Structure 1
Amino acid sequence: MADTPATAAELAELIVEFEKYRERLVDETLEAAKKAKLSKKATMAKLEPQLADIDAKLARIREQQANLTAQS
């Protein structure tokens, strides 16, 4: 199955999951930082590399999805 190309529906599901993961990561990290009395700005600065990675992956998946949709 690893060699089988993903369908547009599978890519859409993956996008939703990544978006949920990103939101949960931010929410949970900010909540933990608040409890630890860390600033939101410093916390977001530390999170930025992870968020950039997630955003880059989302962009690639969206591009794949657009290519599949255009081919259909």
Structure 2
Amino acid sequence: MTEASEPQNNETISAQDIAELLEEYQQYRERLLNETLETAKRAKISQTATMARLEPELAKIDSVLEQLRQRQASLNPNT
């Protein structure tokens, strides 16, 4: 999702582009978490086991979100 969503280095990215990416990643993270936990519940897999398997993916998403927030802050130093 990262490579397809982010523009090439030679393109300029606007604060609005970053805001949209942030929103998309936040929604994706929320949906992934909710749907995975719901599916695990139906399959009678413990929440602990589910979270242990899901945590690496959530960490990747959180890392991308943090990078986007930092980039957004660098474009909007007043906010």
Q: TM-score range by the shorter chain?
A: over 0.9
- RCO (CA 8 Å, sep 6+): is it higher in 1 or 2? 1
Identity across aligned pairs (percent)?
49
The residue correspondences of 1:1-72 to structure 2 (distance < 5 A) are 2=8, 3-70=10-77
The code of the aligned residue for 1:31 comes to E
Q: Which runs of 5+ in 2 are unaligned?
A: 1-6
Aligned residues: 71
Regions of 4+ moved over 6 Å? none
C-alpha distance in structure 2 between counterparts of 1:14 and 1:5, whole Å: 14
- After TM superposition, the score normalised by the length of structure 1 is 0.92
CA distance in 1, matches of 2:65, 2:12: 17
Shift of 1:5: 2.0
Structure with more helix by fraction: 1
Q: Say which SS state the counterpart of residue 22 (structure 1) adopts.
A: helix
* Alpha-carbon RMSD: 1.4
Structure 1 residues without counterparts, runs of 5 or longer: none
